[in-house]
Amino acid sequence: MRTSTKLNPFKNLKHDIPASIVVFLVALPLCLGIALASGAPLFSGLIAGIIGGILVGVLSGSPLGVSGPAAGLAVIVLNAITDLGGFEVFLVAVVLAGILQIIMGFAKAGIIAYFFPSSVIYGMLAGIGVIIFLKQIPHAFGYDKSPIGDLRFNQVDEHNTFNELVHMWNSISPGVLLIAAISLLILILWETPFFKKLKFTKLLQGPLVAVTSGIVLTMVFAAIPSLTVSQDHMVSVPIPDSFDAFLGNFARPDFSALANTNVYITAIVIAVVASLETLLCVEATDKQDPYKRITPTNRELKAQGVGNLISGLVGGLPLTQVIVRSSANMQSGGKTKASAIIHGVFLLISVVAIPKVLNMIPLGVLAAILMVVGYKLAKPALFKRMYAGGMGQFIPFIVTILGIVFTDLLTGIALGMVVAVFIILRNNFKIPFKMQSEELEGKSKINIVLSEDVTFLNKASILKSLDEIPNNMDVEIDATNTKFIHFDVIEIIENFEKSAESRNINVKIINLYKDKQKEPIQSFKLSNGKQ
Kindly report whether the global pTM for this prediction surpasses the value 0.75. yes
Cross-strand partners of 12: none
According to the model, what pLDDT value does residue 431 have? 65
Asked whether residue 517 carries a pLDDT value surpassing 60, the answer given is no
**170-191 confidence digits (pLDDT tens):** 889 999 999 999 999 999 999 8
Spell out the domain ranges in the chain: 12-418, 432-525
Please tell me which residue, 205 or 135, carries the higher pLDDT value: 135
CATH assignment, 432-525: 3.30.750.24
In the chain, count H helices and then E strands.
22, 9
According to the model, what pLDDT value does residue 264 have? 97
Mean pLDDT for the chain overall: 89
Asked whether residue 525 carries a pLDDT value surpassing 50, the answer given is no
According to the model, what pLDDT value does residue 338 have? 96
Asked whether residue 387 carries a pLDDT value surpassing 90, the answer given is yes
According to the model, what pLDDT value does residue 440 have? 67
According to the model, what pLDDT value does residue 204 have? 80
Asked whether residue 5 carries a pLDDT value surpassing 60, the answer given is no
Asked whether residue 238 carries a pLDDT value surpassing 60, the answer given is yes
**141-177 confidence digits (pLDDT tens):** 999 998 888 888 988 888 999 999 999 998 899 999 9
According to the model, what pLDDT value does residue 518 have? 35
Least confidently predicted of 102-106, 193-197, 425-429, 486-490: 425-429
Please tell me which residue, 102 or 1, carries the higher pLDDT value: 102
CA dist., res. 239 & res. 158, Å (int): 29
According to the model, what pLDDT value does residue 253 have? 97
Asked whether residue 242 carries a pLDDT value surpassing 80, the answer given is no
> What average pLDDT score do residues 187-206 get?
86
The per-residue DSSP string of 162-215 comes to TTHHHHGGGS--HHHHHHHHHHHHHHHHHTSHHHHHSTHHHHS-HHHHHHHHHH
According to the model, what pLDDT value does residue 519 have? 39
- CB-based burial of residue 6 (10 Å sphere; 0-12 exposed, 13-18 middle, 19+ buried)? exposed
Asked whether residue 79 carries a pLDDT value surpassing 80, the answer given is yes
Q: Which residues of 385-410 are buried (b: 16+ CB within 10 A; e: fewer)?
A: ebeeeeebbbbbbbbbbbbbbbbbbb
What percentage of residues in the chain have a pLDDT greater than 70? 94
According to the model, what pLDDT value does residue 98 have? 98
What percentage of residues in the chain have a pLDDT greater than 90? 61
According to the model, what pLDDT value does residue 520 have? 38
Q: Residue 432 — pLDDT band, cuts 50, 70, 90?
A: low
Least confidently predicted of 112-116, 183-187, 244-248: 244-248
- Which of 338, 389, 430 minimizes the C-alpha distance to 57? 338
According to the model, what pLDDT value does residue 523 have? 35
According to the model, what pLDDT value does residue 196 have? 84
